[in-house]
């Protein structure tokens, strides 16, 4: 694929905005492409249930529908999402959390996109390369294990556009990277988020997860069957 190397470090306009926020008010609009919400209180509340990965039973379930346009949140989908969690207290906490996050994503996308949720154990580094997803909006919570790395500003990313409009991350300056902590919510707007014009949040999966110490990861995102973005979290 022919790529046009195009440095955007000095670009002006919305795409050069600060891009990292800690306020869910910035989920709407394109002024920020990352919203990082720290939640030490949830981390403390779940600590008595550790190791959380041990609470999951059975094979990984398929993604659960969490919201539908015109119908809002789907309680039955949330039940499906946490069905593998054996501990009732932990299941209730994750269920409430998933619905709360789904509500924020649903609102950010104007209620126009179906949403899905996935709860899984990650036993490796699914995508070590810096990239941006091509969907609209994805929320990640690593309840246990190392969290996702992300760039705090667009000025730490170098992107390349192909002639067909696809966007790739050509380089990243890790000096501008942060890692989410367990139980933080990381809202990552993708290249397809309205108004971002291919300037999706740049992120990569962390090192350190293994079969013996997997990550317990919740993903909530919009359903885009044609999306070819990396499924990395």
| Residues near Fe ion, by CB under 5 A | 133, 230, 232
Closest CB to Fe ion among 223 and 230? Answer: 230
The residue among 138, 113, 115 whose CA lies nearest residue 33 is 138
Q: How far is the CB of 182 from Fe ion (least distance, A)?
A: 18
Q: How far is the CB of 227 from Fe ion (least distance, A)?
A: 11
Q: How far is the CB of 45 from Fe ion (least distance, A)?
A: 27
Q: How far is the CB of 183 from Fe ion (least distance, A)?
A: 19
Q: How far is the CB of 199 from Fe ion (least distance, A)?
A: 15
19-21 and 32-37 as β-strands: parallel, antiparallel, unpaired? parallel
- Residue 209 to residue 211: CA distance in whole angstroms: 7
Closest CB to Fe ion among 95 and 204? Answer: 204
Closest CB to Fe ion among 109 and 135? Answer: 135
The residue among 216, 145, 95 whose CA lies nearest residue 103 is 95
The residue among 73, 29, 28, 10 whose CA lies nearest residue 195 is 29
Name 121's bridge partners.
216
Closest CB to Fe ion among 91 and 186? Answer: 186
12 CB-contact burial (10 Å; exposed 0-12 / middle 13-18 / buried 19+)? exposed
Closest CB to Fe ion among 80 and 148? Answer: 148
């Amino acid at each position: 694929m022919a790529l046009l190397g195009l440095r955007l470090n000095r670009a002006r306009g919305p795409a050069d905005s600060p891009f990292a926020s800690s306020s869910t008010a910035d989920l709407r609009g394109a002024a920020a492409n990352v919203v990082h919400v720290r939640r030490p209180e949830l981390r403390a509340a779940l600590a008595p249930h550790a190791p959380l990965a041990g609470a999951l039973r059975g094979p990984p379930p398929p993604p659960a529908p969490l919201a539908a346009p015109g119908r809002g949140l789907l309680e039955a989908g949330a039940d499906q999402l946490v069905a593998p969690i054996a501990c009732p207290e932990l299941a209730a906490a994750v269920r409430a959390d998933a619905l709360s996050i789904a509500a924020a994503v649903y609102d950010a996308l104007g209620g126009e996109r179906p949403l899905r949720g996935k709860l899984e154990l990650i036993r490796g580094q699914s995508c070590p390369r810096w990239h941006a997803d091509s969907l609209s909006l994805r929320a990640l919570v690593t309840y246990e294990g190392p969290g996702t790395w992300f760039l705090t500003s667009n000025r730490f990313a170098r992107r390349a556009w192909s002639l067909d409009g696809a966007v790739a991350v050509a380089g990243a300056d890790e000096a501008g990277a942060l890692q989410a902590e367990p139980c933080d919510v990381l809202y990552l707007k993708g290249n397809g988020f309205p108004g971002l014009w291919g300037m999706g949040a740049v992120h990569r999966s962390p090192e350190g997860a293994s079969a013996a110490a997997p990550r317990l990861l919740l993903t909530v995102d919009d359903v885009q069957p044609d999306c070819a973005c990396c499924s990395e979290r």
